[in-house]
A and B are shown apart, each in its own frame.
Chain A
Amino acid sequence: DAKTTQPNSMESNEEEPVHLPCNHSTISGTDYIHWYRQLPSQGPEYVIHGLTSNVNNRMASLAIAEDRKSSTLILHRATLRDAAVYYCILTRGGGADGLTFGKGTHLIIQP
């Protein structure tokens, strides 16, 4: 699977939008972009995924660059419960053979 690059940590204030970046310059045409997050002492939680078009769901939005070499996870209004490690993951095809996790971005939310 192609490699992703994320900042080690980011800080934001409660009730403000958060933009988490992910670079994936070696992405191929069939690679899906997935975002998962992991709260302390819990299993990872699915956030969102996309292929080419921007995606929205109840948790977040995914903005994908036109050349697909980068993407941004957008949390529209951060709460303290959003403090977690966020993983940006690419899968060749759908990812039936599992995910390759990097170190992710540790998001800190200030009250």
Chain B
Amino acid sequence: NAGVTQTPKFQVLKTGQSMTLQCAQDMNHEYMSWYRQDPGMGLRLIHYSVGAGITDQGEVPNGYNVSRSTTEDFPLRLLSAAPSQTSVYFCASSYRDRGANTIYFGEGSWLTVV
């Protein structure tokens, strides 16, 4: 059972380049989200989706785009990379359990912008 799969695991970008972090889940979860984690900090929510065709902004959405054309996939696009976007990115999917969402996270994508 793959769970939440993120690619690539490591990436180095030059300032101004664009790229897409891929995320796929095989658990048929309605909810998906993207977080970033800076050194020594907790995770911060970038964007989330409550179902195919529906996305919304989280705490730190600037510089990132998302789309949700299928239940399984939720790619995160960096439009014009900046050094401040150097971080570890986690994709997550979740389902409703006893009234609350139980969230499964991917293994992370380490991004360095130089």
Name A residues whose Cβ lies closer than 8 Å to a Cβ of B: 32, 34, 36, 41-46, 49, 51, 87, 91, 93-104
Contact = CB atoms under 8 A, between A and B. Distances in A.
B45 A98 contact: yes
A96 B50 contact: yes
Dominant secondary structure at the B interface:
strand
Contacts of A93: 100
A87 B100 contact: no
Interface residues of B, number: 30
A43 B104 CA distance: 9
Contacts of B31: 96
A42 to B, nearest CB: 7
Contacts of B104: 46
B53 interface: no
A104 to B, nearest CB: 6
A34 B97 CA distance: 12
A95 B100 contact: yes
Nearest to A102: B42
Contacts of B107: 42-43
B90 A96 contact: no
B2 interface: no
Contacts of A43: 4, 90, 92, 105-108
B6 to A, nearest CB: 9
Contacts of B99: 32, 51, 94
A36 B94 CA distance: 13
A105 B62 CA distance: 29
A93 B101 CA distance: 9
B40 to A, nearest CB: 8
Given A42-B107, A98-B45, A98-B48, 6 more contacts: A49-B97, A49-B98, A87-B42, A95-B101, A95-B103, A97-B58
A101 B44 contact: yes
